[in-house]
């Protein structure tokens, strides 16, 4: 299959197609990102072992249920790549992860402390209706316990999915909410009904079920490392763009 693809689709055709689809800049950025990573790992003498590559390959195979070596080879052929291509991609991924941790693992606690408010969460319910009068009627009915917030959401919300979930929006960080809504929600007390608040979508009523304090978990640490790494990578690519002509 690799040879067939090489026969029927040329490199010039691939590049031409990418340009026609307005993806050329995107792929150039990706290539420059790889170049920046490669240069940085060489400077820091970061390496990847064959065991690490094998472990990641096994993880990927399990994720797509490729139990036999023959299944893996058939899958690679169908993708139009060789085993060496696949391993090179895995190596690049591991190197990027190691580089990110080398550069920013020591910065996580400081960053988290400086941005703790961004990681506070709220367990939020919401109702959106098209008319202010309806929103106010629902507000007073909920306050007077004539109807529950959840039942009102199930009956009146403008969005089918939210009706099915009785207004449940889930656990949200401040950054998931617009600034005006975040100020209202995070300034409320659990159980309080907030609104009506008008936006382009309609008239909102909110109910805070619970506030969840910010906590530096392993998952959040990795999220911060990746955020800082991506910012660094953008900066490195911008530098290369001003010093590379393509």
Q: What is the four-CA torsion angle of 123, 129, 135, 140, rounded to 10 degrees?
A: -60
The contacts of residue 209 (CB under 8 Å, 6+ apart) are: 122, 123, 124, 125, 190, 191
Residues of the chain with CATH 3.10.50.40: 118-212
Please say whether the beta carbons of 118 and 186 come within 8 A.
Answer: no
- pLDDT of res. 131: 96
Contact 246, 28 (CB under 8 A): yes
pLDDT in tens, 129-188: 999 999 999 999 999 999 999 999 999 999 999 999 999 999 999 888 999 999 999 999
pLDDT of 6 reads: 60
Task: Give the per-residue pLDDT at 4.
Answer: 59
So what CATH class is 118-212? Answer: alpha beta
Percent helix, strand, coil in the chain (nearest 5)?
65, 15, 20
Give the residue among 82, 4, 60 at the shortest CA–CA distance from 74. 82
Condensed to tens digits (0 to 9), the pLDDT of residues 83-129 reads 999 999 999 999 999 999 999 999 999 999 999 988 999 999 999 99
Element (H, E) at 37: helix 24-43
């Amino acid at each position: 299959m690799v040879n067939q693809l090489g026969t029927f689709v040329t490199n010039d055709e691939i590049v031409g197609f990418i340009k026609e689809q307005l993806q050329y800049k995107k792929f150039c950025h990706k290539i420059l990102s790889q170049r920046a990573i490669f240069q940085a790992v060489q400077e820091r003498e970061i390496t990847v072992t064959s065991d690490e590559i094998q472990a990641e390959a096994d993880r990927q195979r399990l994720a797509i249920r490729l139990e036999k070596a023959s299944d893996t080879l058939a899958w690679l052929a169908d993708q139009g790549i060789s085993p060496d291509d696949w391993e090179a991609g895995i190596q690049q991924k591991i190197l990027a992860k190691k580089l990110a941790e080398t550069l920013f693992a020591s910065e996580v606690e400081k960053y988290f402390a400086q941005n703790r408010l961004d990681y506070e969460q709220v367990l939020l319910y919401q109702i959106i209706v098209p008319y202010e009068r309806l929103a106010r009627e629902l507000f007073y009915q909920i306050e007077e316990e004539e109807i529950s917030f959840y039942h009102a959401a199930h009956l009146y919300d403008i969005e089918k999915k939210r009706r099915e979930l009785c207004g449940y929006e889930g656990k949200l960080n401040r950054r998931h909410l617009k600034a005006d809504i975040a100020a209202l929600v995070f300034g409320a007390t659990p159980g309080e009904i907030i609104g009506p608040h008008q936006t382009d979508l309609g008239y909102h009523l909110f109910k805070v079920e619970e506030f969840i304090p910010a906590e530096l978990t392993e998952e959040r640490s990795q999220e911060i490392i990746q955020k800082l790494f991506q910012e660094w990578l953008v900066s490195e690519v911008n530098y290369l763009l001003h010093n590379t002509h393509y």
